[in-house]
């Protein structure tokens, strides 16, 4: 029985593929407090999961535009698992009390999670659009351009609504051609379409199955926002956030924004 290869002419293949040696150079704490390392690593892990969820949602959009509803559910299910892992990452910070955070908080300066470009990409894909949140990136041409493109591009929900129209549901032009740079406004026709879809509970009803996995995505993203709020409340109460954000007040307002709203409102009539 042959054992694993132990001698390599150049870099270890695992490192060539994963770039682990590079990853482990990216943690550069600004203080000597050991707790900052935990805060930094968890923040970076979350950034990676934001990017992974964005990748999967973009794959979802490609398949929806091709009309492959069953196929689109594979990246959506992976997105649900990505968001579950993202939520689990908060456990890595449950040790942090206000005193623990205060030992390195000042070193963060104006840095704030509010400034995460990848998180904004994820929000935009989920239909939570706002032009004001890309303003912090104005002086960074490449980032600003990418975010501006994402702001103007269809969200996953826009693609779902377009799919419903192609499948024969009565979706009027104002629902199909709404301003994509603004947050999605719930539409009665979209809600009615989902009511009709859910009345057909046959296993082969692909749209109903799609609705359920989209609901899972929305629920997991809502859980992340709630866990974020609780983490902030545990470590800093109602103080202003880093970088001048409104802290818990802003997070509470954010939680009120509903992802895929007609999927939720339609359940009242089911």
At 3, the pLDDT band (50, 70, 90 cuts) reads low
The answer to whether residue 43 sits within a structural domain is yes
The whole-angstrom separation of Cα 155 and Cα 153 is 6
Asked if the structure places residue 12 within a domain, the reply is: no
Q: Give residue 63's domain range.
A: 33-269
pLDDT over 90 (residue 209): yes
227, part of any domain: yes
In a domain, 48, yes or no: yes
**pLDDT recorded at residue 79:** 98
CATH number for the domain harbouring residue 156: 1.20.58.480
Establish if 19 belongs to a structural domain: no
Which among 259, 228, 250, 264 is positioned nearest to 128, based on CA atoms?
259
Residue 10 within a domain: no
The pLDDT of residue 10 is: 76
- Count: domains in the chain: 1
pLDDT at 174: 94
Query: What pTM value is reported for the model?
Result: 0.91
Q: Enumerate residues 6+ apart whose C-beta is below 8 A from 42.
A: 89, 90, 92, 93
Closest C-alpha among 106, 120, 114, 96 to residue 41? 96
pLDDT of residue 95: 93
Q: Please report whether residue 22 resides in a domain.
A: no
Say whether 228 counts as a known binding-site residue: yes
Question: According to the model, what pLDDT value does residue 216 have?
Answer: 98
**Does 202 count as an annotated binding residue?**
no
Cα(149)–Cα(155) distance, integer angstroms: 11
81 lies in some domain? yes
């Amino acid at each position: 029985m042959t054992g694993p290869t132990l001698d390599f002419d150049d870099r270890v293949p695992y490192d060539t593929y994963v770039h682990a040696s590079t990853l482990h150079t990216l943690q550069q704490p600004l203080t000597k407090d050991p707790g900052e390392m935990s805060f930094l690593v968890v923040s970076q892990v979350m950034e990676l999961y934001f990017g992974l969820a964005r990748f999967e949602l973009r794959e979802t959009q490609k398949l929806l535009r091709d009309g492959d509803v069953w196929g689109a559910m594979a990246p959506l299910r992976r997105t649900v698992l990505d968001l579950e892992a993202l939520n689990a990452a908060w456990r890595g910070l449950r040790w942090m009390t206000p005193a623990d955070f205060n030992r390195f908080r000042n070193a963060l300066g104006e840095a704030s999670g509010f400034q995460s470009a990848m998180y904004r990409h994820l929000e935009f894909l989920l239909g939570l659009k706002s032009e004001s949140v890309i303003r912090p990136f104005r002086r960074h041409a490449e980032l600003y351009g990418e975010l501006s493109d994402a702001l103007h591009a269809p969200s996953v929900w826009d693609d779902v609504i377009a799919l419903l129209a192609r499948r024969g549901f009565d979706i009027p032009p104002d629902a199909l051609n709404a301003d994509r740079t603004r947050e999605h406004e719930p539409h009665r026709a979209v809600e009615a379409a989902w009511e009709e879809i859910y009345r057909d509970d046959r296993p082969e009803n692909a749209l109903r199955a799609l609705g359920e996995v989209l609901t899972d995505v929305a629920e997991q993203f809502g859980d992340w926002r709630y866990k974020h709020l609780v983490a902030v409340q545990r470590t800093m109460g109602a103080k202003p956030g880093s970088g001048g954000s409104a802290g818990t007040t802003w997070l509470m307002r954010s939680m009120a924004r509903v992802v895929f709203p007609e999927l939720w409102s339609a359940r009242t009539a089911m």
